[in-house]
Amino acid sequence: MGLVMREHTSDEHWRALLDRLGLSDFNGATFGKLVAAYTKPDRHYHSITHIEDCLDQLAQCALPPARSDPIALAIWFHDAVYNWRSKTNEADSAAWAAEFLSGCDAADDLMADIDGLIMATRHFVPEPLVGDQPLMVDIDLSILGRAQQAYDRYETAIREEYKWVPATTYRRERRAVLRGFLERDAIFETPRFKDLYEATARANLQRAIDNL
């Protein structure tokens, strides 16, 4: 594929993940399609680098495979479909995951878990999060609490993905999104991510709002 994959996104790790879950990917077809989706040139943030970073964050949680493997599979699919003008990206990504799992004759409870984990990454949802959905969301949002340089690269990449949006509109809409996070009682729900990232995330978000 002309791409050097990091450890967590190598085809070996993908195959090992599926083996532990009792799934199969004939000739690596789905793996190839996922990598192709995440390496499109317009994927400035929602890219294979984001998937690698999320999988790294998950690995650092040191969970047993029974918990971490469904989350890892959900990470692989959660941004698989990303159309900048669409409001159904998470649902479309979850549908791709469901199609893959159905083809593998996956158990109903695994399919439901993956669907819930992916749909939780909509981030502003009325339903309470259950099970490991808060952890999935915290992993996805962890970029908000990184060091200033990393966060600023994230903001630049998001703007590049939405470069078709006029500047005035983008500033207004982006401020609203960032304020939505700041107005929460807590950005992160799980203790580990709160301790690691909450304070820095709030500083990053306020700085980003001030700079828009």
User: pLDDT tens digits, residue range 31-61?
Assistant: 999 999 999 999 999 999 999 999 999 999 9
Give the DSSP letter of residue 128. P
Question: Across the chain, what does the average pLDDT equal?
Answer: 95
- Give the dihedral sign, CA 56/59/65/68: negative
Q: Which of these, 124, 123, 145, lies nearest to 194 by C-alpha position? A: 145
Q: What is the pLDDT of residue 3?
A: 52
Question: Distance of alpha carbon 62 from its chain centroid, rounded?
Answer: 18
Handedness of CA 175, 180, 183, 184 (dihedral sign): negative
Q: Please, is 126 exposed, middle or buried when counting C-beta atoms within 10 Å of its C-beta (0-12, 13-18, 19+)? A: exposed
Calculate ∠ Cα 139-28-54, nearest 5°.
10
- pLDDT surpassing 90 at residue 8: no
Is the model's pTM score more than 0.85? yes
Per-residue pLDDT of 98-142, as tens digits, reads 999 999 999 999 999 999 999 999 988 778 899 999 999 999 999
